[in-house]
Amino acid sequence: MVSVGVDAGSRAIKIVLFDVDSREVVASGIVAQGVQCNDLANDLLRDLIERSGLGTGDIHRVIATGYARNMIDFADTTVTEITCHARGVYHVAPDAATVVEIGGQDSKLLRLGRNGGVRDFSMNDRCAAGTGRFLEVVADRLGVVLDQLGPMAARSQTPASISSTCIVFAETEIIGLLSTGISPDDIVAGVQNSIATRIAAMAGRKVAAPVVFTGGVAIVPGMDRALESALGRPVSIAPNPQFTGALGAAIIAAA
């Protein structure tokens, strides 16, 4: 018997199948978000069930989370992504005190208490300059793919200062920096630092360790180091960080 967690995010849909008895992940999958969110999620779940040798009768419960969670009509209920990310991180890193989650359209900083419960949190869902969307815009402007941003930032000798707090103005600022001869490597490093600085500003006070980094942006090389510098704390990346929210939803569904 498996429980199902569906994280219908702004950029991608992630699904985790979780064995109710063994408390282990059976399968996981991801697909790009689209107009027909519910159909995409349904197709992905069907594929995972079939590849795992299971049937629909083996599904214990389905919980949806994320930006488009209310569009998943086959879910038994919905739970906020804040709760799900906290629960998912607690499963893979039970000693975590702080969770930084950066997705495509928002970013969050969670302070965890006993048993992975959320004591409080800060969230940015109004400005894309502190999210994965900023990295996508930069990659497009520089004519590279996202996977190249990490190595570019690592080559930087003098990261550029990105002062704009709005992604529209930040893109204009980047164009200006390129025109003055600032290298793309230094611009990428500056953008990573800018995102990390916004996370640190959200924290508002001293950040408790251990700090666990999750969400889609966690797979971008160099972002963990930028966060470490901005937060003044070591930062570890959660295993399979894109799936942490779906994992948390599946664990809650297993109860």
Q: What crossing angle do the helices spanning 223-231 and 184-203 adopt, rounded to 10°? A: 50
Same domain, 137 and 221: yes
Q: Is the dihedral of CA 208, 209, 212, 213 positive or negative?
A: positive
Handedness of CA 126, 128, 132, 133 (dihedral sign): positive
Percent of the chain at pLDDT above 90? Answer: 68
Q: Are residues 122 and 166 in the same domain?
A: yes
Domain co-membership, 107 together with 45:
no
Q: What is the CATH number of the domain that holds 142?
A: 3.30.420.40
In this structure, the answer to whether residues 66 and 187 fall within a common structural domain is: no
Per-residue pLDDT tens for 153-190? Answer: 999 999 998 876 666 677 788 888 888 999 999 999 99
The total of other beta-carbon atoms located within 10 Å of residue 30's CB is 18
Gap between the Cα atoms of 58 and 3, Å rounded: 9
Residues 177 and 100 in one domain: yes
- Note the pLDDT of residue 126: 58
Name which of 171, 94, 111 is nearest 139 in CA terms.
Answer: 171
Q: Indicate if 78 and 148 belong to the same structural domain.
A: no
Residue 129, pLDDT score: 58
Instruction: Identify the residue with better confidence: 107 or 88.
Output: 88
Mean pLDDT of the chain: 91
For residue 248, give the 3-state DSSP assignment.
helix
pLDDT digits (tens, 9 = 90+) for 22-69: 999 999 999 999 889 999 999 999 999 999 999 989 999 999 999 899
Do 105 and 226 share a domain, yes or no?
yes
pLDDT at 105: 76
pLDDT computed for residue 194 by the predictor: 87
Domain range for 123 is: 95-237
Q: Is 102 helix (H, G, I), strand (E, B) or coil?
A: strand
Q: How many domains are there within the chain?
A: 2
Q: Which residue type is seen at 189?
A: A
Q: Are residues 111 and 203 in the same domain?
A: yes
- Residue 93 pLDDT greater than 90, yes or no: yes
